Structure 1
Amino acid sequence: MEKYRINQFIHQTKQEDKGQGLFELETPRILEINLESQIWAKMGSMISYRGNITFEREGILEHGIGKLFKKAFTGEGAPLMKATGRGKLYIADQGKKISILNLDNESITVNGNDLLAFEPSIDWDIKLMRKVAGLMAGGLFNVTLKGTGMVAFTSHYEPLTLLVEQGNPVYTDPNATVAWSGHLEPEFVTDVSLKSFFGRASGESIQMKFQGNGFVVVQPFEEIYLSQQS
């Protein structure tokens, strides 16, 4: 175990400006947002801030009646908070590792439980997963984000990105699936022969099948499995 004098500890762990722009990884598990106007972030993710910043829970009709119905159907979906002002905002989610993407007129779909923050310039919509109600870590919803701007999402430990190629589909455990190319439409398949081998939780015999051209991001962790043990 490392031991420090106070000045050594401060020097080792103090905040530093890395000049990375709006979203900056202060540590692999803490996101610094150099806020100049407004940002959307996961409700409850704020751990610290400095400057003149106000926080507001997402308004019930803020994103339109369509999203309101979807959020009600998914059990509140991905609750968001709006941070407005100027300053430095620090957010995190249960010590999970943070990844930042800078979309350039592109799209990505993220498990609703893993979405951490995104710029207001990004358009988003909730995608319902009716066939696997209760299996996904965040419920049965994912969020598709598209446009130009920054998106941050989380994963338990280091994520692995698998390339999906035509004629060579990728199969994943729903509880370990974090994100995928926004244009891919995963198919849910059941293979009883894999029940004892594919996953350890409620997704043993159900897999997500990705086919076409794109990518899928997985994590070395099944989120529902831990919650069942705790």
Structure 2
Amino acid sequence: MIRGLGHSAVESVCCRFVARFRLNGSRMLAVDLMNETIRALNGSMVAYDGQMTFKRQGMTGGEGLRGFVRRRVAGEGMTLMEVTGQGTVYLAAEAAEITLIPLQGDTLFVESESLLALDAGLQTGVQFVGLRGMGTGQGLATTKVDGHGMVAILSDGPAIALEVAPGMPLCVDPHAYVGHRGQLQQDVVTDVNWRTVLGQGSGESVQFRYQGHGLVYVQPAERGGGIMEV
């Protein structure tokens, strides 16, 4: 587990937000609002009761003009809407599996396409990963979410949280990566040889390697390949 966020701490954080974010099955998120606001993936509402208003956040996505420019430069797109009201709103996206992650002042790094909903008090931004992301199809940047509140992420199949401990690095297929949190350092490991050049590679020649202390979320399916898929 992440240092400072043991099993009991996770339970207490979950209990604090359970009245707001709750799963209705594994592919539907229900959020109970009492004249509050959340941010959600644009177009993800499938039903609601009570009184709700939906407002697209526009080109800045709630991050201001500077954040918008950083996303355009990095190619990390994210379109969110504000949901405000009193009642329950139900959210989903293409029948993808949903995982709830409570943040307690820490930071979650997640692919923008995997972000379904988050508390309005959480801050989002762009974290540049450099050229190491381009070769894997991940792009120049990823989305970071930090603060106190609940985040709902999407995955193709149930997401699995894998623990990384000091001295025990974890390697992940870039196309199965969903997100990570904790004190982790990410780099890219390659294993390109003559078999790869001849098209006889294993298909696992590029991996993300995580070292430090934290959790990495992966899905049991792979996205479309990047320019270095071999």
Q: Indicate the TM-score class for this superposition, using the shorter chain for normalisation.
A: 0.7 to 0.9
Report the AA paired with residue 165 of structure 1. Answer: A
Paired residue secondary structure (1:21): coil
- Segments of structure 2 that go 5 or more residues without pairing to the other structure are 1-16, 226-230
For the residues of structure 2 that align with 1:100 and 1:128, how far apart are their CA atoms? 24
Distance 1:178 1:52, change over 3 A: same
**Is 1:218 aligned with 2:221?**
no
- Segments of structure 1 that go 5 or more residues without pairing to the other structure are 1-18, 226-230
For the residues of structure 2 that align with 1:20 and 1:214, how far apart are their CA atoms? 23
**Is 1:96 aligned with 2:69?**
no
Deviations 1:40-96 (A, max 9, x none): 011121111222111111133442232111222244611111111222111111111
Give the match for residue 33 of structure 2: 35
Deviations 1:16-42 (A, max 9, x none): xxx931001011100011122100011
Assess if the C-alpha contact under 8 Å between 2:52 and 2:87 holds in 1: yes
Distance 1:151 1:21, change over 3 A: same
Give the match for residue 9 of structure 1: none
For the residues of structure 1 that align with 2:189 and 2:206, how far apart are their CA atoms? 6
Distance 1:220 1:89, change over 3 A: same
Give the match for residue 118 of structure 1: 118
Assess if the C-alpha contact under 8 Å between 1:25 and 1:32 holds in 2: yes
Assess if the C-alpha contact under 8 Å between 1:49 and 1:87 holds in 2: yes
Task: Kindly tell me the number of residue pairs found equivalent between the two proteins.
Answer: 201
Distance 1:134 1:58, change over 3 A: farther
For the residues of structure 1 that align with 2:65 and 2:221, how far apart are their CA atoms? 35
For the residues of structure 2 that align with 1:190 and 1:76, how far apart are their CA atoms? 24
Assess if the C-alpha contact under 8 Å between 1:144 and 1:182 holds in 2: no
For the residues of structure 2 that align with 1:183 and 1:46, how far apart are their CA atoms? 34
- 1:182: Cα distance to partner? 4.5
Give the match for residue 157 of structure 1: 157
RMSD value, Cα: 2.2
Assess if the C-alpha contact under 8 Å between 1:112 and 1:141 holds in 2: no
**Is 1:20 aligned with 2:33?**
no
For the residues of structure 1 that align with 2:66 and 2:187, how far apart are their CA atoms? 24
Assess if the C-alpha contact under 8 Å between 1:134 and 1:140 holds in 2: no
Q: Give the alignment of 1:160-171 within 5 angstroms.
A: 160-171=160-171
The worse-fitting range, judged by mean Cα deviation, of 163-172 and 69-78 is: 69-78
Q: Give the alignment of 1:169-188 within 5 angstroms.
A: 169-188=169-188
- Between the two structures, name the one with larger relative contact order (CA 8 Å, sep ≥ 6): 2
State the percentage of identical aligned residues: 33
Give the match for residue 82 of structure 1: 82
Report the AA paired with residue 45 of structure 2. Answer: M
Paired residue secondary structure (2:185): coil
Paired residue secondary structure (1:212): strand
The worse-fitting range, judged by mean Cα deviation, of 80-89 and 126-135 is: 126-135
Paired residue secondary structure (2:67): helix
For the residues of structure 1 that align with 2:79 and 2:137, how far apart are their CA atoms? 16
State TM-score, norm by structure 2. 0.79
Assess if the C-alpha contact under 8 Å between 1:108 and 1:183 holds in 2: no
Report the AA paired with residue 26 of structure 2. Answer: P
Assess if the C-alpha contact under 8 Å between 2:76 and 2:143 holds in 1: no
- 1:140: Cα distance to partner? 4.4
